[in-house]
Amino acid sequence: MSMVETAATSASPVRYSLVLPIFNEESVLPVLLKRIDALLDALDGPAEAIFVDDGSRDSSAIFLRYKAQTDLRYRFIGLSRNFGHQVAITAGMEAARGEAVVVMDADLQDPPEVVLQMVEAWKQGFEIVYARRIARHGEGRFKRWTADAFYRLLGRFANVEIPRNVGDFRLVDRRALEAFRAMPEQDRFVRGMFAWLGFRQTAVEFERAPRAAGETKYTLRRMTRLALNALVGFSDAPLKLVVATGLAVSALAGLYGLYVVGKWLSGAELVSGWTSTILIVSLLGGGNMLMTGIIGLYVGRIHAEVKRRPLYVVAERAGFPEAATREGAQATRRAG
């Protein structure tokens, strides 16, 4: 098959797009690609699998670039550096051409076979189908406890209802995807953004499997950052805490002032104590630093937004119709 014929085949309409962010996953790729092959064969329409390499330092990019060059159903996007999981997801969804776009992790904790259940729900008219974990195998107590605490906190304070025990594993209809692509914010919490969009949503339940190989890329630091993005991006509760704390401290200071005036009017001897002074100053100083820090989180997000930098930079692409078309045209010119 010539390059021009390959391009024409690659440009055919796509019904399903799979988006998988990748970061140092070479150990799991052989098993993953076999199961993705099986899933693509099982889908009832033309499908593509888009792998987004988020600055991997292992051989993941080599595997995936070759796969995209030898299998017309596969696409490869290599980002210029590590931009983060949420941004890598966004890059893949912006490149997807399918009527239904599925986002899933590459570690096989999101079983590809569950996608078939999502498709059935999508055919019933739901525009967003998310996968809810009913069990989390292979995760320690601390990870499960922190995840549960995160969802409880987010459910209590978020301005929109964000489903509990739901990650980024979901199917999104083209109409909902276009609405998502119109949201330009820099500090992304993708699952919260889809919850904010609305549309008809439903859940498909599954048991989250242990990692097939390798180590988790969501360290405690990354999870904490994601939690802050979620809380600050979808709740004004921290700002309300600032106001409530300020009012409470002001009220206590006012009451203490009235107490001192009352003691003075009664003729009582007032002895200023060094310990109490330091205690009050420390309390007020610490509270002020806390409140300033919370406000700073919001100001920092504003600063990131007004710079209007691109979310990501693509270093290379492989397997996309436009890339194949350019290669075919160049080959034709060389042959002429």
Please give the angle made by the CA atoms of 196, 232 and 250, to the nearest 5 degrees: 130
Among 14, 87, 70, 78, residue whose Cα is nearest residue 51: 78
Domain boundaries, the chain: 3-219+310-335, 237-307
The predicted pLDDT at position 286 comes to 62
| CATH 2.60.40.10 is the classification of domain 3-219+310-335 | no
Strand 166-173 and strand 128-136: pairing?
antiparallel
The rounded distance, in Å, linking the Cα atoms of 148 and 146 is 5
The model's pLDDT over 191-201, given as tens digits with 9 standing for 90+, comes to 778 888 888 88
The predicted pLDDT at position 51 comes to 94
Q: From the DSSP assignment, how many helices (H) and strands (E) are in the chain?
A: 12, 8
Residues of the chain with pLDDT under 70: 1-12, 136-160, 209-247, 249-261, 263-265, 267-291, 293-294, 296-307, 309, 322-336
The predicted pLDDT at position 203 comes to 87
How many CA within 13 A on the CB side of residue 167? Answer: 20
The predicted pLDDT at position 38 comes to 92
SS3 14: coil
The predicted pLDDT at position 258 comes to 67
The predicted pLDDT at position 119 comes to 93
The predicted pLDDT at position 12 comes to 60
| Torsion of the alpha carbons at 158, 164, 168 and 170, rounded to the nearest 10 | -120
The predicted pLDDT at position 3 comes to 38
**pTM across the whole model:** 0.66
The predicted pLDDT at position 310 comes to 74
What single-letter DSSP state applies at residue 314? E
The predicted pLDDT at position 228 comes to 64
Reading across the β-sheet that carries 166-173, which strands appear in turn?
Answer: 201-208, 128-136, 166-173, 100-103, 16-22, 47-53, 74-79, 314-318
10 Å CB burial of residue 13 (0-12, 13-18, 19+) is exposed
For helices 274-307 and 220-234, give the axis angle rounded to 10 degrees.
Answer: 80
Tell me how far the alpha carbon of residue 185 is from its chain's centroid. 12
The predicted pLDDT at position 18 comes to 94
The predicted pLDDT at position 275 comes to 47
